[in-house]
Amino acid sequence: DGEPCGECQSCEAIKKGSHWDVLEVDGARFRGIEDVKELAYKAYLSPMGNRKVYIIDECHMLTEPAWNGLLKLLEEPPPHLVIMLCTTHFEKIPDTISSRCQLYPFTKLTPDRIKQKLELICQSIGIAPDSRHIQFIIEKAGGNMRSAENTLEQVCQIKDRGG
C-alpha cells in the first residue's frame, strides 16, 4: 500500500542503512562529477525491488560540474528511480535543478518532539540523559533535529572525556 510497516526485512534494512535499493550519500563528500557519473550509471541498473531511491543529503555542497552531471539524470531518470535532494540551504541549489524538482519544505520541530527523540536516542545507546543537557541541546537546535543530534553527539563526547 506504499506505507512502511517498520517491521519487515525491507523496512529494517532501510533503518540500518543497508537496503540494497536505497542509497544515501553525503553531498559534502560526494560532490564531484566522477561521483555523479558513477551514481548515474548505477541508476539505470534494475532495482532488486520496485524502486531505487537515491538520497543526496547536504546537496547544496555539490560542485558545479556535479550539478551539471546530475541535471541529465533529473531530466531523464529511469522509471524506477526516485531522487531526493536534501538541504538546509535551498538558495544554494541552482535554478536549473530546483525547477525540475518537487519541493517539500519541513517545519521546525517543537521542543517536546525534539526532547522525545533525544530521549529515545539516549535510551538506544544506553546513556541516561541529563535534563540540563537535553534542555541546552533543545535550545541550541532551534527546531532542527539534525542540529540536536549533532549537539547530543558532541555533549556525549565531552562527557566521555570527563567534561
Q: Which residues pair with 14 in a beta bridge?
A: none
pLDDT digits (tens, 9 = 90+) for 6-53: 888 888 888 888 899 999 999 888 878 899 999 999 999 999 989 999
Greater confidence (102 vs 129) lies with 102
Query: What do you get for the CA distance between the two ends of the chain, in Å?
Result: 49
In the chain, what are the domain boundaries?
9-98, 111-160
Q: Which residues pair with 57 in a beta bridge?
A: 26
Residue 27 near residue 61, CB atoms below 8 Å: yes
CA 89 to mean position of chain CA atoms? 14
Report the pLDDT value the prediction gives residue 63, as an integer from 0 to 100. Answer: 92
CA 6 to mean position of chain CA atoms? 18
Whether pLDDT at 162 is above 70: no
Phi, psi at 37, each rounded to 5°? -60, -45
Residue 18 near residue 48, CB atoms below 8 Å: no
Superfamily of domain 9-98: P-loop containing nucleotide triphosphate hydrolases (3.40.50.300)
Whether pLDDT at 105 is above 80: yes
Task: Please indicate, yes or no, whether the overall pTM of this predicted structure exceeds 0.85.
Answer: no
